[in-house]
């Protein structure tokens, strides 16, 4: 082995290692400006405790604290970057020196999993000054054997548990990859044991290259066999609970030859060493959207050929996505291509990459003249970097190229932000706010006439008239690869909050109940930012925060769908008709509340006769 | 440790590049065949999958070819057809059996295939492997989860031996603390787990335990040796850890030596003993990067003497440029006994910078120029004050090359600097069929040979690294009359006469074939030399643990375009001189036959 061989080996290994680290920014300028702006008042701490499900402390476990949505300065091991610490004998941890940001906090120990936070409203996002309670429990186990048709054990078959939902079988936000992304394989007795599983519903697959590009074996070109001995659609779903073992999951391996789907990714630009990412090619079921196979390809010169092995017959969609490390550029994706595999390899596919769009703008905080009311003195000042912005597709247009939800972005200290990786289409902006005192007063888009590209639209003939778009009401549209500028998110101080309980007279309505807030003032009828929806917990309690002071009607309604719970912003996509219906219903019932700036109502009893059903 | 992580990593790398199918079309009559047999003992073994993996000698990184597969038939025979010319590794895919035979390691056999050639008798002999299984528990008797096992094969004198076989993925415990190592060559083994190097805890590790041998000893000489027979199972090979290692932290701050001001965002490395690179980057509790107020804290250090200094990150795409520093420092020595080290001040200096361009000579092909951004410029600097010892005086710094060819290297201490060029995924590192060779280095238009001096904080501009792009091939064979000394390996050197670039070496495979790729056009002197030593994997070092990532510190250092030396010089074997001149042109393959006449033995 020459020393050069070793050097390149080392580079590749490091690349592999660092693949696990959040993307880094080369933005030195940002770093130094962070540095100069930093002062003691801005630096904070996160402290917390890790326990098991019985409340016993978990000592000596790793706690990961990583900033969310920061475009710059995300360096591991430093303020503003991801940091790790270890709990003490009492399960406590503390990390000091944190810059203002939203942080995701999780704990880890081999074989254990962090349970999602009980409080839905925290959404697992923390800010310096918060205290964090984490529950670390033994993950679930699935174990069994893989045999051939003669009942003989097979060695070296990769086995993978794919999470398809929560323990009740419902889809949720937890990623499908399970158990550390480890390379689970059968041993010389054909036995396998997958541990550290997040509680949920799983299907188990043997064979195929599910685990990554390096998992080659004598079985890695076979079409995978699903437990007990079937194709994916007929796989038996297993329920795995924390700390429990599901055993005897013996798989009769079918050993069916899979097909190869291959082709080439066409890129218009070279990505350099400093921005080196990779290209991921994913094959998804056309019917269910489930990911069938994926491969990571080097993004280099002429080597953008790809091949996916072990693909069973079926109809698929294939997409390539190039992700770089440059925090100012969007990923590039190819238009999804339909692929039908029918007893033969498919080759010669060409997937052409095109950049996704970006939206940039500024978050500004409107200062009220004069001294704030005593009620408005927050316990801890919030910082603009603790705001998280997400782009959400207009509900009406769900023709997403990829199921990946664009990641949230946090503004810099000067309020400037950049949202990346957006597909063409109509979008809305949501803001997740820290503390208690801010609310979103307006979201608008001003198209600067000088820099706007010339377009043959009706708007272009009257540039001054259409220069400001009310994004909160209408959303905004993006063309493929557009770099849209000029979005302004206006925050105001003096937000009110409301905690309470639904008290139903008579029969309890079926299904989960949500509570709507509807502005009572006529002039606010079209101000979508003043509408809100909160889910109730099993005891009927609900809470709203970060909304404008004023007069509101309350209305109980069935929750539109799972997953929109707790968010006061999930109504942003209400169209005019539905909004008018909601308003009429709320007005008719006439239950109203007046909230003054910074008012914190904590024990509101909401008496309601029944639940209004809002239809789509 | 002989169950070498490095070998596993090499294999993974070879295969990592196997995702894309071949793009080249070779006419049918030029296709070669490769055949052989697999036996267990003397019986033919049906149903074993054999893989034929392209092996790019110049660029061991990802290549374009798909590995071919074949399974042995009822007679134990396998056959690959339609094989394009090139170097390949033939690997029987089995984990239950041990592959025996002269040169078949875990990496299989390397062969060179010529156009249309029928390569026969690439045979393998298998033996059913043995099994060691047991349980690993912590100092409180709880199972150690996901703990990696180290197996060391020892001879009758308990000296560590090289061994092949077993799972290339290694072995680790499950959630019950149970491990099962299979496919092992019969013999005597030391079984151990844990880590005796100190350094920060790996993410998720709950405690740092000293390397402990079965059953519960940290002293290797006290370890119980585990006997493994072919096909036998040795059970209850448990390891009980004692008390975890107590670890401490070092904390302090980096200050500018001139202004006394704190310096933010510099990467500090803790080195142990003789200048070894220690934990860089994120360790528990804050890692080795100074905060915005210049402070740092690095945890997880076991008692011992350490050095602390500013270091440059190894070249990792997309990551390392972020941590490139304009600073350097002399190492600061500190000792950990039974307490944290605090208040350590690292005085840093603003270093010299070198800027310039990498340019392709004579080439206007934009697809070639586009490959420049895959390159890395390395600066090895020899500090004037290297008598500070500890770090050995040499300090690698690098810069990725931008798409326009520009580069910038910063944070260099004053002293002698040597520039070299490297690439991602191997020298040249370009995804095409060829590679870049460094022709010369210029400073303000004048040629620059060897090293040059930089003074404190100097801004060196106007450096040009002139490269050429080559895609020529020399494919050849060595005909041997007589007998080579046992254990000798032949190496061919191709030395450019009127072509650019550096001399390169290539190994001669068991069939006497060799191959050079990515050569610049011109005349080469092809000569033969011999060294003693094992084949693939012969460089595994006993006792080395957790190789892979640790070696990462070497990064892009050293290995420039000139460092293509094969075996170490001290094991040279004297053979008669064999030389030949070969003319190479781009995109073409030049054939050569070398004849080595040796005395009969």
DSSP letter (8 states) at residue B148 = B
- Is the pLDDT score of A362 beyond 80? yes
Between B201, B432, B566, which is nearest A302 by CB? B432
Between B20, B67, B204, which is nearest A110 by CB? B204
Between B401, B548, B551, which is nearest A273 by CB? B401
Which residues does A307 contact at the CB level (< 8 Å), separation at least 6?
A260, A261, A262, A295, B19, B20, B21, B66
The residue behind tokens 């807030």 is A517
Question: CA-to-CA distance for A413 and A42, rounded, in angstroms?
Answer: 11
Q: Which residues of B touch A56 (CB under 8 A)?
A: none
A5 — pLDDT class (breaks 50, 70, 90): very low
Question: CA-to-CA distance for B432 and B466, rounded, in angstroms?
Answer: 19
pLDDT reported for residue A121: 55
Residues A193, A224 contacting (CB under 8 angstroms): no
Q: Rounded to the nearest 5 degrees, what angle is found at the Cα of B342, between the Cα atoms of B340 and B348?
A: 135
**% pLDDT > 90, chain B:** 21
How do residues B327-386 score in pLDDT, each as one tens digit? 888 888 888 888 999 999 999 998 899 999 998 887 556 667 767 777 788 888 876 554
B360 C-beta neighbours (distance < 10 Å), count: 18
B431 C-beta neighbours (distance < 10 Å), count: 27
pLDDT reported for residue B250: 86
pLDDT reported for residue B135: 97
Nearest CA among B223, B243, B9 for reference residue A10: B9
Å from A11 to nearest chain B CA?
6
Q: Are strands B295-301 and B327-329 parallel, antiparallel or unpaired?
A: unpaired
| Length in residues, chain A | 616
Chain centre distance of CA B364: 34
How do residues A511-521 score in pLDDT, each as one tens digit? 677 888 999 99
Which residues does A493 contact at the CB level (< 8 Å), separation at least 6?
A365, A366, A367, A368, A372, A376, A437, A438, A597
**For the residues A234-253, what does the mean pLDDT come to?**
95
| Least confident interval from A285-289, A315-319, A571-575, B204-208 | A571-575
B548/A188 Cβ within 8 A: no
- Is the pLDDT score of A361 beyond 50? yes
pLDDT reported for residue A209: 63
pLDDT reported for residue B365: 66
A97/B424 Cβ within 8 A: no
pLDDT reported for residue A62: 84
pLDDT reported for residue B26: 44
Transcribe A138-158 into DSSP letters: EPEEEEEEEE-TTS-B-SS-B
Sign of CA dihedral B378, B382, B386, B389: positive
How many cross-chain Cβ pairs, A to B, lie less than 8 Å apart? 310
Which of B53, B292, B367 should one mutate to test binding to chain A, selecting the residue with the greatest count of A CBs within 10 A? B292
What is the b/e burial string over A342-354, where b = at least 16 CB atoms within 10 angstroms of the residue's CB?
Answer: eeeebeebebebb
Which residues does A523 contact at the CB level (< 8 Å), separation at least 6?
none
**% pLDDT > 70, chain A:** 72
B61/A8 Cβ within 8 A: yes
Å from A186 to nearest chain B CA?
11
Between B322, B323, B551, which is nearest A10 by CB? B551
**For the residues B299-319, what does the mean pLDDT come to?**
70
Residues B236, B226 contacting (CB under 8 angstroms): no
**For the residues B231-236, what does the mean pLDDT come to?**
95
B201/A301 Cβ within 8 A: no
Q: Are strands A314-323 and A332-334 parallel, antiparallel or unpaired?
A: antiparallel
DSSP letter (8 states) at residue A584 = H
**For the residues B30-59, what does the mean pLDDT come to?**
82
**For the residues B205-222, what does the mean pLDDT come to?**
85
Which residues does A466 contact at the CB level (< 8 Å), separation at least 6?
A447, A459
Question: CA-to-CA distance for B526 and B496, rounded, in angstroms?
Answer: 9
Please give the residue of chain B at the shortest CA–CA distance from A277: B318
Token pair recorded at residue A215? 């998992």
Residues B488, B573 contacting (CB under 8 angstroms): yes
A60 C-beta neighbours (distance < 10 Å), count: 17
How do residues A460-471 score in pLDDT, each as one tens digit? 444 454 588 888
Between B19, B207, B293, which is nearest A297 by CB? B19
Chain centre distance of CA B26: 32
How do residues A433-481 score in pLDDT, each as one tens digit? 998 889 999 999 987 654 444 444 444 444 454 588 888 888 899 998 8
- Is the pLDDT score of B191 beyond 90? yes
pLDDT reported for residue A174: 62
Å from B59 to nearest chain A CA?
8
What is the b/e burial string over B63-72, where b = at least 16 CB atoms within 10 angstroms of the residue's CB?
Answer: bbbbbbbbeb
pLDDT reported for residue B314: 59
Between B20, B95, B285, which is nearest A155 by CB? B95
pLDDT reported for residue A363: 95
Q: What are phi and psi of A31, to 5 degrees?
A: -60, -45
B412: helix, strand or coil: strand
Between A9, A156, A216, which is nearest B10 by CB? A9
Token pair recorded at residue A85? 């610490």
**% pLDDT > 70, chain B:** 71
How do residues B267-278 score in pLDDT, each as one tens digit? 787 776 543 333
Between A33 and A332, the higher pLDDT residue: A332
Q: Which residues of B touch A76 (CB under 8 A)?
A: 281-282, 287, 289
Which of A6, A14, A299 should one mutate to test binding to chain B, selecting the residue with the greatest count of B CBs within 10 A? A14
A85/B401 Cβ within 8 A: no
Q: Are strands A92-98 and A44-51 parallel, antiparallel or unpaired?
A: antiparallel
Nearest CA among A520, A535, A494, A490 for reference residue A588: A520
Which of A303, A308, A345 should one mutate to test binding to chain B, selecting the residue with the greatest count of B CBs within 10 A? A303
A188/B557 Cβ within 8 A: no
- Is the pLDDT score of B406 beyond 90? no
Transcribe B377-407 into DSSP letters: EEEEEEETTGGG-SSTTEEEEEEEPPTTSEE
Transcribe B195-234 into DSSP letters: --S--PPPTT-------EETTTBSSGGGPPPEEE-TT-EE
Question: CA-to-CA distance for A569 and A534, rounded, in angstroms?
Answer: 9
| Least confident interval from A267-281, A337-351, B404-418, B515-529 | A267-281
Which H or E run includes B184? strand B178-184
**For the residues A141-149, what does the mean pLDDT come to?**
95
Q: What are phi and psi of B109, to 5 degrees?
A: -110, 140
pLDDT reported for residue B430: 40
How do residues B133-177 score in pLDDT, each as one tens digit? 999 999 889 999 988 898 988 988 888 876 655 666 788 999 999
- Is the pLDDT score of B389 beyond 70? no
A594 — pLDDT class (breaks 50, 70, 90): very high
**For the residues B27-46, what does the mean pLDDT come to?**
84
Residues β-bridged to residue A93: A48
Which residues does B272 contact at the CB level (< 8 Å), separation at least 6?
B197, B198, B278, B304, B305, B306, B307
Question: Which CA distances in Å does B266 have to A538, B255, B288?
Answer: 51, 10, 8
Residues A45, A100 contacting (CB under 8 angstroms): no
- Is the pLDDT score of A503 beyond 50? yes
**For the residues B240-245, what does the mean pLDDT come to?**
88
| Check: complex ipTM more than 0.90 | no
Between B51, B131, B554, which is nearest A10 by CB? B554
Query: Does B215 sit behind a cis peptide bond, omega within 30 degrees of 0 on the bond before it?
Result: yes
Token pair recorded at residue B331? 């190492």
Å from B287 to nearest chain A CA?
5
| Least confident interval from A161-165, A395-399, B251-255, B438-442 | A395-399
Residues A65, A44 contacting (CB under 8 angstroms): no
Q: Which of residues 111-140 of A touch B (CB under 8 A)?
A: 111, 138-139
How do residues B413-432 score in pLDDT, each as one tens digit? 888 898 888 765 443 434 34
Which H or E run includes A461? helix A458-461
Residues β-bridged to residue B593: B477
Question: CA-to-CA distance for B125 and A41, rounded, in angstroms?
Answer: 71
Nearest CA among B409, B410, B416 for reference residue B384: B416
Between B265, B316, B563, which is nearest A18 by CB? B316
Which residues does B410 contact at the CB level (< 8 Å), separation at least 6?
B324, B325, B326, B351, B352, B353, B397
- Is the pLDDT score of B75 beyond 90? yes
B552/A14 Cβ within 8 A: yes
B104 — pLDDT class (breaks 50, 70, 90): very low
Q: Which of residues 42-71 of B touch A (CB under 8 A)?
A: 48-49, 51, 59-64, 66-67, 69, 71
Percentages (nearest 5) of helix, strand, coil residues in chain B: 5, 45, 45
Interface residue B106 vs chain A (CB under 8 A): no
Question: CA-to-CA distance for B406 and B375, rounded, in angstroms?
Answer: 11
Whether the full predicted model's pTM is greater than 0.80, yes or no, is: no
pLDDT reported for residue A271: 59
Q: What is the Cα gyration radius of chain B?
A: 26
| Mean pLDDT rounded to a whole number for chain B | 74
**For the residues B447-460, what does the mean pLDDT come to?**
88
Question: CA-to-CA distance for B332 and B346, rounded, in angstroms?
Answer: 7
Which of B322, B350, B368, B555 should one mutate to test binding to chain A, selecting the residue with the greatest count of A CBs within 10 A? B322
**For the residues B182-204, what does the mean pLDDT come to?**
74
- Inter-helix orientation angle B5-16/A3-18, to 10°: 80
A392 — pLDDT class (breaks 50, 70, 90): confident
- Is the pLDDT score of B225 beyond 50? yes
How do residues B515-570 score in pLDDT, each as one tens digit? 887 788 889 999 998 877 543 333 333 333 322 222 222 333 233 333 333 334 45
Between A82 and A489, the higher pLDDT residue: A489
Residues B351, B334 contacting (CB under 8 angstroms): no
B73: helix, strand or coil: coil
A285 C-beta neighbours (distance < 10 Å), count: 15
Transcribe A533-576 into DSSP letters: EEE--TTSEEEEEEE-SEEEEEEEEE-SSTT-TT-TTTTTT--H
Residues A592, A552 contacting (CB under 8 angstroms): yes
Please give the residue of chain A at the shortest CA–CA distance from B15: A214
Cα-Cα-Cα-Cα torsion B138, B142, B146, B150, nearest 10 degrees, comes to 40
């Amino acid at each position: 082995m020459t020393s050069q061989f070793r050097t390149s080996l080392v580079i590749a290994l490091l690349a592999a290692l660092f693949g696990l680290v959040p993307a880094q920014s080369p933005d030195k300028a940002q770093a130094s400006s962070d540095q100069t702006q930093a002062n003691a008042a801005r630096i904070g701490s996160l402290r917390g405790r890790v326990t098991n499900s019985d409340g016993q402390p978990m000592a000596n476990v790793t706690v990961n604290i990583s900033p969310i949505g920061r475009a710059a300065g995300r360096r591991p091991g430093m303020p503003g970057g991801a940091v790790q610490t270890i709990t003490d004998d009492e399960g406590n941890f503390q990390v000091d020196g944190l810059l203002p940001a939203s942080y995701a906090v999780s704990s880890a120990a081999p074989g254990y999993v962090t349970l999602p936070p009980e409080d839905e409203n925290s959404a697992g996002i923390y800010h310096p000054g918060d205290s964090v309670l984490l529950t670390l429990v033994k993950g679930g186990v699935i174990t069994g054997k893989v045999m051939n048709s003669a009942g003989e054990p097979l060695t070296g078959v990769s086995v993978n548990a794919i999470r398809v939902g929560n323990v009740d079988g419902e889809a949720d936000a937890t990623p499908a990859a399970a158990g550390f992304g480890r390379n689970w394989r059968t041993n010389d007795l054909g036995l396998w044991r997958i541990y550290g599983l997040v509680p949920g519903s799983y299907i188990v697959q043997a064979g195929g290259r599910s685990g990554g590009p390096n998992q080659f074996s004598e079985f890695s070109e076979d079409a995978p066999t699903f437990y007990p001995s079937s194709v994916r659609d007929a796989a038996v779903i297993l329920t795995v609970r924390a700390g429990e073992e599901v055993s005897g999951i013996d798989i009769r391996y079918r050993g069916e030859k899979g097909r190869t789907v291959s082709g080439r990714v066409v890129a218009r630009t070279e990505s350099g060493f400093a921005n080196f990412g990779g290209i991921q090619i994913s094959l998804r079921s056309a019917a269910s959207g489930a990911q069938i196979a994926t491969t990571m390809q080097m993004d280099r010169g002429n080597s953008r050929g790809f091949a996916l092995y072990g693909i069973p017959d079926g109809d698929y969609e294939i997409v390539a996505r190039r992700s770089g490390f440059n925090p100012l550029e969007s990923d590039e994706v190819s238009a999804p291509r339909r692929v039908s595999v029918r007893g033969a390899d498919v080759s010669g596919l060409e997937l052409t990459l095109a950049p996704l769009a970006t939206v940039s703008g500024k978050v500004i905080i409107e200062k009220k003249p004069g001294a704030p009311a005593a009620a408005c003195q927050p316990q801890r000042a919030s910082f603009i970097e603790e705001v998280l912005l997400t782009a959400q597709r207009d509900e009406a247009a769900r023709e997403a190229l990829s199921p990946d939800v664009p990641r949230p972005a946090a503004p810099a200290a000067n309020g400037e932000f950049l949202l990346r990786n957006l597909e063409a289409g109509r979008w809305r902006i949501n803001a997740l706010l820290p503390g208690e005192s801010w609310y979103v007063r307006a979201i608008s888009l001003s198209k600067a006439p000088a820099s706007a590209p010339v377009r043959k639209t009706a708007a272009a003939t009257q540039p001054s008239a259409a220069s400001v778009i009310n994004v909160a009401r209408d959303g905004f549209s993006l063309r493929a690869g557009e770099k849209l500028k000029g979005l302004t998110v206006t925050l105001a101080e003096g937000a009110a909050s409301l905690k309470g309980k639904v008290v139903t007279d008579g029969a309890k309505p079926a299904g989960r109940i949500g509570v709507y807030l509807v502005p009572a003032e006529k002039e606010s009828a079209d101000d979508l930012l003043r509408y809100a929806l909160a889910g109730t917990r099993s005891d009927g309690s609900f809470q709203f925060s970060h909304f404008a002071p004023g007069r509101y009607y309350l209305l109980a309604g069935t929750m539109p769908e799972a997953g929109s719970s707790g968010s006061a912003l999930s109504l942003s996509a209400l169209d005019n008709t539905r909004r008018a219906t909601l308003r009429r219903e709320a007005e008719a019932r006439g239950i109203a509340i007046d909230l003054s700036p910074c008012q914190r109502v904590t024990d509101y009893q909401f008496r309601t006769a029944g639940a209004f059903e809002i239809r789509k | 440790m002989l169950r070498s992580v490095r070998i596993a990593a090499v294999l993974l790398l070879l295969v990592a590049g196997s995702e894309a199918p071949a793009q080249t079309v070779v006419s049918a009559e030029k296709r070669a065949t490769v055949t052989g047999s697999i036996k267990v003992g003397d019986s033919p073994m049906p149903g074993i999958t054999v893989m034929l993996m392209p092996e790019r000698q110049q660029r061991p990184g990802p290549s374009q070819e798909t590995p071919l597969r074949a399974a042995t038939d009822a007679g134990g025979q396998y056959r690959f057809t339609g094989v394009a010319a090139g170097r390949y590794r033939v690997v029987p895919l089995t984990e239950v059996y041990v592959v025996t035979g002269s040169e078949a390691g875990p990496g299989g056999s390397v062969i060179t295939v010529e156009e249309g050639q029928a390569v026969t008798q690439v045979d393998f002999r298998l033996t059913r492997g043995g099994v060691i299984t047991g349980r690993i528990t912590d100092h409180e008797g709880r199972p150690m989860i996901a703990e990696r096992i180290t197996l060391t094969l020892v001879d009758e004198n308990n000296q560590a031996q090289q061994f092949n076989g077993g799972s290339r993925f290694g072995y680790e415990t499950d959630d019950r603390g149970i491990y099962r190592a299979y496919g092992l060559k019969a013999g005597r083994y030391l079984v151990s787990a844990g880590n005796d190097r100190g350094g920060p805890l790996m993410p998720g590790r709950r405690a740092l335990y000293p390397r402990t041998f079965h059953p519960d000893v940290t002293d290797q000489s006290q370890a119980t040796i585990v006997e493994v027979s072919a096909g036998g199972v040795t059970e209850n090979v448990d390891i009980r850890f004692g008390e975890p290692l107590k670890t401490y932290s070092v904390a302090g701050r980096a200050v500018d030596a001139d202004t006394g001001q704190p310096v933010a965002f510099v990467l500090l490395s803790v080195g142990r003993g003789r200048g070894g690179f220690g934990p860089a980057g994120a360790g528990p509790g804050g890692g080795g990067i100074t905060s915005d107020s210049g402070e740092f804290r690095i945890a997880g250090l076991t008692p011992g003497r350490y050095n602390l200094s500013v270091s440059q990150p190894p070249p990792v795409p997309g990551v390392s440029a972020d941590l490139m520093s304009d600073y350097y420092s002399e190492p600061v020595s500190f000792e950990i006994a039974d307490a944290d080290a605090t208040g350590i001040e690292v005085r840093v200096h603003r270093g010299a910078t070198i800027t310039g361009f990498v340019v392709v000579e004579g080439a206007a092909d934009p697809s070639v120029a586009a490959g420049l951004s895959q390159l890395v410029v390395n600066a090895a600097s020899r500090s004037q004050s290297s008598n500070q010892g500890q770090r050995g005086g040499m300090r690698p710094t690098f810069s990725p090359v931008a798409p326009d060819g520009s580069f910038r290297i910063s944070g260099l201490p004053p002293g002698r600097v040597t520039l070299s060029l490297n690439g991602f995924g191997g020298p040249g590192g370009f995804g095409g069929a060829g590679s870049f060779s460094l022709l010369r280095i210029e400073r303000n238009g004048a040629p620059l040979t060897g090293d040059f001096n930089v003074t404190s904080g100097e801004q060196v501009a106007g450096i040009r690294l002139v490269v050429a792009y080559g895609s020529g091939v020399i494919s050849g064979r060595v005909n041997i009359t007589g007998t080579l000394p046992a254990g000798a390996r032949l190496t061919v050197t191709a030395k450019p006469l009127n072509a650019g670039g550096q001399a390169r070496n290539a190994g001669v495979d068991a069939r006497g074939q060799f191959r050079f790729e990515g050569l610049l056009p011109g005349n080469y002197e092809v000569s033969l030399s011999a060294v003693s030593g094992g084949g693939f994997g012969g460089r595994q070092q006993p006792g080395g643990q957790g190789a892979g990532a640790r070696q990462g510190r070497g990064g892009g250092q050293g290995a420039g375009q000139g460092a293509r030396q094969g075996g170490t010089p001290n094991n040279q074997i004297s053979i008669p001189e064999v030389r030949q001149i070969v003319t190479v042109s781009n995109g073409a393959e030049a054939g050569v036959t070398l004849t080595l006449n040796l005395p009969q033995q």
